[in-house]
Chains A and B, each alone.
Chain A
Amino acid sequence: DTAVSQTPKYLVTQMGNDKSIKCEQNLGHDTMYWYKQDSKKFLKIMFSYNNKELIINETVPNRFSPKSPDKAHLNLHINSLELGDSAVYFCASLGSGTHTGELFFGEGSRLTVL
């Protein structure tokens, strides 16, 4: 069973469209994140939720809206997509117990905006 799973893995869409990426973790962790990785492989934090509550909201355009329906799920909705949104988006959850402090990453969702 994949611990942190994201869907879709690949997404190709036109500028101006709206799209969503979903993330689910089956590790029982309380805290989840969205990171954006650009073409130079720089991983930039976007959002974090702890038990469905938004705790980190970096300087991200408000076209990006995260939603956490429960602590196992964190989705990312993007409105009015722009070329610069093309990137790999990684979901992660924060470990607890013997894995306290460790980030567990999903496999990423590659978004290409044409």
Chain B
Amino acid sequence: EDKVVQSPLSLVVHEGDTVTLNCSYEVTNFRSLLWYKQEKKAPTFLFMLTSSGIEKKSGRLSSILDKKELFSILNITATQTGDSAIYLCAPKASGTYKYIFGTGTRLKVLA
């Protein structure tokens, strides 16, 4: 059965800190992995990763995939209070439309 585990489950940091969130997966015939940020309402898209070792970057956020070790990390540098949210990852297998979400990491950034 396909599995997704995110760690840590929750994290409290101070503004300016750097955080690393982990997403480990076991998906047969892996194709891609999505990262989302969820504040109060709908999850919003951050990154889609398909290839190992290629970093995706958007401002202070970056993400990378390791298809050999079956994980992805999301880095946030110089955190701000607006980064407080739940971060979700969702891998997908080839030939399917099914995205399986992890339990999420709840990040709280203190001023």
Q: A-side interface residues toward B, CB under 8 Å? A: 4, 31, 33, 35, 40-45, 48, 50, 55-56, 90, 94, 101-108
Contact = CB atoms under 8 A, between A and B. Distances in A.
What secondary structure prevails in chain B residues at the interface with A? Answer: strand
B104 A42 contact: yes
Contacts of B42: 4, 90, 105-108
B97 A40 contact: no
Q: How large is the interface on B (under 10, 10 to 19, 20 to 34, 35 or more residues)?
A: 20 to 34
Given A41-B104, A41-B106, A103 B99 contact: yes
A42 B101 contact: yes
A101 B32 contact: yes
Given A101-B32, A101-B34, A103-B34, A45 B100 contact: yes
Given A45-B101, A107-B41, 13 more contacts: A31-B97, A40-B103, A41-B104, A42-B104, A43-B43, A45-B98, A45-B100, A48-B97, A56-B97, A102-B48, A103-B90, A107-B42, A108-B42
